[in-house]
Each structure stands twice: as structure tokens, then as C-alpha cells.
A and B are shown apart, each in its own frame.
Chain A
Amino acid sequence: MRLSLQGVIPRPLREKVDTYTSGIWKSNVSLNRGDYVFVQAPSGTGKTTLVHILYGLRQDYDGQVQWDNTTLQKASEEELAQLRTNGVSVIFQDMRLFPELTAWENIDIKRQLTNTVTEQQATEWMQRLGIADKKNSPGATLSYGEQQRVAIIRALLQPFAWLLMDEPFSHLDHANIEKAITLIGEVVRQNNAGMLLADLDANTYFPYTKMILL
């Protein structure tokens, strides 16, 4: 699955974007499945905006974003749902868990949507990231770190060609980051997928094939 951006400018950032040269905004960018892309984005350059635009959550921009032949601005809600269950997965910076569901239910509600990962495997992933004991705790009571790990597992429960990550480890310590990197790396490889990770500072979490400055 190929991602192409043509002259994309988020309207709220238009004035700021005019003052510097961005590797993505106003540019024509083409990324192929299998690329490991790191987008370095200093504060205020629109990192989260970019992830939301790519995931089809925002429409307030000029230019065009295409996943293969699907143009996001023209995609229907049903097409977007299709893209979000089979093509593109995301780890939000703000996690976005259901506070009224338990950690396990937050995972299971996504797992049962596509049924590509077994219950056993999902449980094992929880163990690997050290949140198995929080299985029955409501999302609202989980710490940020725990929420982030639930959000990571949730993003891996579907078939995908691209994994979008917005500061995915911001609430994790080094040891937990290592565990998460290993798990994400495995699943991305299994899916022959590409990844796009946006963060504030440069890092070596993954063997990136492309580095872009936002």
C-alpha cells in the first residue's frame, strides 16, 4: 500500500508553514509499503495533525492524501472504516481508550472486529508488556504508561500495511520501551507492513529507512 501526499497544508498551520521548508507540508511525498519512516517534528510543527490527517480524522487541509487509490478527502465513512480495519493502524499520542471498558475489553473490542489475533496471543502480548495483571481494571483507572501499552497492543490486533505512531512511548520507561519496540517490530514484520513514527526528538527505536523533518 502506497502513501502519497501532494502539497498538503493544514489550514491552521498555513502561516507557519510558509516560514520554513518542511519535508512533508507543501511537498510531494511518496512512501511505499515496507518503508520505516521517522518523522521528526519539533513542537508546534503539526505532528499530531499529520497522523490525524493520514488516518482520515481531519479534513481541514489543502492538497491531497492518497492510500493507494483511495483519496482521503473523498472517502466515505464506510471506506474509512475499511481502511482502519485492514490497511492502516494507529497508536494515538493521547491513547484514546474507552474509560468504561476494562483493559482487556479495550483490547478485545478491537480484536473481535477483525479476528486476526487469537485471544491467547493477545493475552500473551499483555504479559510481554507487563499489563496482564491490569486485565480487569477499567480504562479510567489505568496509569498513562499502562494505557499506552494497551493502546500499542490494540493497534497490533488487525491486519495492516501501515502502522502510524504518534509519540508511542512518551509515557514508558526504557525497559518497557524495549519490550514494546520488540513486539511492534515483530508484528510489523509479520504483516510486511511499513511504519511511520512521529516524535519530537531523533531516536533509533527502529531501523528507519527514511527520516523526514516536519
Chain B
Amino acid sequence: MSDTPNYMLKKLLLHSRNNSRLWAALVALCVGTTLLLLTVLIWWNFRELLYGKNQNDSLGSTFMIIGKKVTDQNMGVKNATVFTDADITEVKHAPQVQDVGVISSNQFPVYAMMGGNLAFATDLPLESVPDNFIDKLPKEWVWHPGDRELPIIVSAQFLDIYNYVFAPSQGLPQLSETSVKAIALNLKVGGPERYETVTARVVGFSDRIGSVLAPQSFIDYGNKKYGKPGVASTTSQLILKTGDPSDTKFTDYIQLHSYSTNSQNLRWSKMRAIVEVVTTATGVLALLLMGISTMVFILFIELTIARAQASLTLLMQIGYSPARLSKFMSSRFLPLVMGTLLASMLIAMVVQYVASVQAKAQQLTLPELPGWPVWAALVLSTLILVVLISRSVSGAIRR
């Protein structure tokens, strides 16, 4: 026979609830929160694509190689694409540049040979960068004079050319990265009279270089021992360690000086500028929408409480404490808000999953679940809403 006190409180305090207004406020809140979460999600995914740990490159994502563009005007001019000391100093002070390394190339003949089914022989250009410019330094990355094994990092494009162009046309098997790492390459270093042979093994791939990287110690050794006397070594490429290579200030600098680079980051930078504008605009819109919908929701709560003022006064007169009544009112409204936020998060999760599937189709890796900033945005907006609503409820009841 006895009803719960909450049933009676509901009858007294919430009978005049106007549901259409409530739903409108909740839908607006849901749209606002979803937009906010999606903004964070897009921003985060873009970051993941740019700087994520999933990059398969032995040079890190913040390293890049630049050279001077060869143009019709400078193609015949001697040393036109050589970096002078002044150039190097200037690059050191460019935006986002943290360190500059000189790429040395071999001034001595290197001839690569391979036996068996894959028999071929070619001149091989070798380059080296200081070790601290290699982000994920392979553990085999050491060479001392006299060592028979030489670790090398090759351009990822070599493998692509082999797999997609060369191997099919020659009826040769395609090779995975792991199988390439197992292949030994014989290098004949030096001239016809004086030479030595080493066995080179691929220990990593990079799409930042156009050639083959060998340890600095090997290049120094070869240049000293087999280099042509009198030929001074010149610097035609630099490796840069950058804070954020997709920063537009940096990319503008690179373009202004007509430097060439094959870094993906540079290609991303234009897109990043667009994404930044879009996410900022969406973020502002989302915050605005959330602000307005929260205000509408709070006004709705205050209106509900104002309409029930007579009952509230009498309830307090018979001994119901304002704290208890606030708790009751909050317990009616907060689950609605929580449910709305949860719905927004579910939408964000679905979007992230779809994005990860789509990214996979494009050979990109994105996590299947939203990253922590999205969860943080959810937690933060939940906290703010809970505090605002609880405060407005207890404020309206004590008024």
C-alpha cells in the first residue's frame, strides 16, 4: 500500500515537467557533446597519423632530409646544390629545427653484387648520417674497420620498385621486409687495384632517404682509404631534427628556400592546416552549442523547481531538508545528462571504429577505440555538467 517517498516527491515536484522542452534541451546537449568529442577525436587521429608510434621508419617521424632543388637554372652550375657553411648555420636557426646533421656520401667506388636466383650487380651510392639522427637505432648499427658485416638502411622505395616493378616483370619472387633483412649483399669497396669486400645486411627501411645509409664510421673509413685524392667532400643533403615538421612556419621556410624533401610530414602540413581550421571552428561551435544547451537545461530545471515552489516550501516545513530535496531533484536530472553524454561517447566510438577500418584500407593505422584526449574531454564535460546542474538545483531549492 505504501509508496516510496520518491514516488510521492515525484508526484509533488515533477508533475508539471514539460517533456518536449526537456527532450529539445537533451538533443541539443547530445549534439554539442558529440561535436566536441568528434573535434577532439579528429585532432587526435590526425596527430596519431603524423607522430604515432606506428610509423614504420627507421628514421623517426621528426627527422627529415633536405637538399637544394635542382632547377633548370641551376642544373649546369657547379656546386649550385651544395650547402655552404652559411647555409647550414641558417638552417640551424630555422623554425622548429632542433639539430642539423651533414649527410656524407661515399667518395669511393662501391659495387654491389648478389648471387643465386636474384643475381645482379650495380654501383651503389652510400650515405651516412650521424648516429644521433637515427631515431630507432637498430642494435646492429655498428661497424669498425675490419668488420666483415656492414649494416645498411635502405630506402623503402627500393623495395617498392623491386616488388612492384622489377620482380613481376622478371618473374622473380616478391620480398617482404623481413625476408630482405635476411638477404646478404656482397659489396666490393675500392678500385680495381685495391679493394676489399664486406657483406651488407639490411637492418631497416626509411622513406626519408633516397639511397642507402651505412654507419658513419664506414663512410669515413672508405673515404679516407679509397677516396679519390684531392676531391673535397661537399654537402648536398642535410638531415634535420625537428620539433614539429608539419608546422606551417617550418614548411614555409623550406618552400621559401626551395629546399626539397620527401618527408610525408611536409605533405601532411597543408592538410594539417585545413584540419586545424576545421577542428577549431567545430570546437568553438561545439562549445557554444554545449553552453547554450546546458543553459537551456538549467533553465528548464529552475523552471521545474519554480513551478513546484509551493510543494517544496511545504516539504521543508514538514521537515524535508533542502539537501535531501536537492539530492532527489539531481537524481532525476543527472541520469538524463549522463545518458546523453554516454550516447555522445557511443557515437564517437562508432566513428573511431569506422575511421580505423577506413584507415586500414588506406594502409594507415588508427586505433579502434578513441584516444585518451577524447575520454578526457568526456570526463571533463561530465564533471562540469554535474557540478553546474547540482549547483543550480540546490541553488534553486534554497532560494
| Contacting pair A78 B322 (CB below 8 A) | yes
| Contacting pair B5 A98 (CB below 8 A) | no
Q: A100-B15, A119-B1 are in contact. Are A108 and B8 (CB under 8 A)?
A: yes
Contacts of B314 in A (CB 8 A): 96, 98
Which residue of the partner chain A has the closest CB to B323?
A: A78
* Interface status of B134 (Cβ within 8 A of chain A): no
* Interface status of A101 (Cβ within 8 A of chain B): yes
Q: A77-B398, A108-B3, A119-B2 are in contact. Are A98 and B321 (CB under 8 A)?
A: no
* Interface status of B158 (Cβ within 8 A of chain A): no
Contacts of B9 in A (CB 8 A): 109
* Residue among A81, A96, A105 with most chain B CB within 10 A: A81
Within 8 A of B (CB), among A46-85: 55, 57, 77-78, 80-82, 84-85
- A91 vs B17: C-alpha distance in the bound complex, in angstroms? 31
- A82 vs B319: C-alpha distance in the bound complex, in angstroms? 7
- A96 vs B4: C-alpha distance in the bound complex, in angstroms? 21
**CB contact between A154 and one of B4, B318, B398 (< 8 Å): that residue:** B318
| Contacting pair B320 A81 (CB below 8 A) | yes
* Interface status of B11 (Cβ within 8 A of chain A): yes
Within 8 A of B (CB), among A87-106: 96, 98, 100-101, 104-105
Contacts of A114 in B (CB 8 A): 319
Q: A82-B321, A112-B5, A119-B2 are in contact. Are A101 and B11 (CB under 8 A)?
A: yes
**CB contact between A77 and one of B5, B11, B318, B321 (< 8 Å): that residue:** B321
Q: A96-B314, A101-B12 are in contact. Are A112 and B2 (CB under 8 A)?
A: yes
* Interface status of A110 (Cβ within 8 A of chain B): yes
Contacts of A148 in B (CB 8 A): none
CB distance from A116 to the nearest CB of B (A): 12
| Contacting pair A81 B316 (CB below 8 A) | yes
| Contacting pair B318 A84 (CB below 8 A) | yes
Contacts of A175 in B (CB 8 A): none
Render A105-132 as a binary contact track against B, CB cut-off 8 A, 1 for contact: 1001110111000010000000000000
* Residue among B317, B322, B323 with most chain A CB within 10 A: B317
* Interface status of A158 (Cβ within 8 A of chain B): yes
| Contacting pair A81 B321 (CB below 8 A) | yes
| Contacting pair B8 A109 (CB below 8 A) | yes
| Contacting pair A85 B319 (CB below 8 A) | yes
* Interface status of B311 (Cβ within 8 A of chain A): yes
| Contacting pair A57 B1 (CB below 8 A) | no
Within 8 A of B (CB), among A142-163: 154, 158
Contacts of B321 in A (CB 8 A): 77-78, 81-82
| Contacting pair B5 A113 (CB below 8 A) | yes
Contacts of A113 in B (CB 8 A): 5, 318-320
Which residue of the partner chain B has the closest CB to A104?
A: B1
Render B8-20 as a binary contact track against A, CB cut-off 8 A, 1 for contact: 1101100100000
- A81 vs B320: C-alpha distance in the bound complex, in angstroms? 6
Which residue of the partner chain B has the closest CB to A110?
A: B318
- A107 vs B2: C-alpha distance in the bound complex, in angstroms? 10
Please list the residues of chain A having a beta carbon within 8 angstroms of any beta carbon in chain B.
55, 57, 77-78, 80-82, 84-85, 96, 98, 100-101, 104-105, 108-110, 112-114, 119, 154, 158
Please list the residues of chain B having a beta carbon within 8 angstroms of any beta carbon in chain A.
1-5, 8-9, 11-12, 15, 311, 314-324, 398
Q: A57-B317, A81-B324, A104-B1 are in contact. List 17 more A-B contacts (CB 8 A).
A: A81-B316, A81-B319, A81-B320, A81-B322, A85-B319, A98-B314, A100-B11, A100-B15, A100-B311, A101-B12, A108-B8, A109-B5, A109-B12, A109-B318, A110-B319, A112-B4, A154-B318
